[in-house]
Copies of this chain bind each other. A is one copy, B any other.
Amino acid sequence: METLTIGDFAARSGVAPSALRYYEREGLIRSTRTAGNQRRYERAELRRVAFIRIAQQVGVSLDEIRAALADLPENRTPTRADWAHLSDRWRHRLEEKIALMQRLRDDLSGCIGCGCLSLHRCKLINPDDRLAEEGPGPRILLNPAD
């Protein structure tokens, strides 16, 4: 069994065949065709799908995921090193997301609990008042990259 049918590939990746076809149309994964025009997937494609699903969990759009996957070599099966490289870059995104979540967690009781989210100058939202002129809203809390 060198390659997988779409059904087997779907079963092994946990992604529906319709989604796999969609990913292919969107240029996220690739397949070869049999003489009878049916898709066949290399096992290596499973890594792509796993990566896609993980990235989605982090809240990344398929557009961005496509861009990231574009860094993988086109003409050969990605090596362990290729994946490690990609994974490293994405670990950073994950770290950032984790940091955001932790800040949300830490602020949740404190900031919402005390009602200060309704105050423009809340110290938690706006730790050193740098953003006072940059507009309203829980800017730092929700958008730490500002």
- A interface, CB within 8 angstroms of B: 11-15, 43-44, 46-47, 50-51, 53-54, 57-59, 80, 83-84, 86-88, 90-91, 94-95, 97-98, 100-102, 104-105, 108-109, 111-115, 117-118, 120, 135-139, 141-142
Q: Are A136 and B87 in touch, CB under 8 angstroms?
A: no
Contact flag A105-B98 (CB < 8 Å), given A14-B142, A118-B43: yes
Q: Are A137 and B94 in touch, CB under 8 angstroms?
A: no
Q: Which one, B50, B98, B112, B115, contacts A101 given CB within 8 A?
A: B98
Q: Are A118 and B47 in touch, CB under 8 angstroms?
A: yes
Q: Are A101 and B58 in touch, CB under 8 angstroms?
A: yes
Contact flag A94-B101 (CB < 8 Å), given A59-B59, A136-B12: yes
Q: Which one, B80, B109, B114, contacts A91 given CB within 8 A?
A: B109
Chain A contact surface mostly: helix
Chain B residues lying within 8 Å of A87, measured Cβ to Cβ, are 108-109, 112-113
Q: Are B108 and A98 in touch, CB under 8 angstroms?
A: no
The minimal Cβ–Cβ distance linking A2 to chain B, given in whole angstroms, is 14
The minimal Cβ–Cβ distance linking A129 to chain B, given in whole angstroms, is 16
Q: Which one, B58, B84, B104, B138, contacts A14 given CB within 8 A?
A: B138
Contact flag A11-B135 (CB < 8 Å), given A83-B115, A108-B87, A113-B87: yes
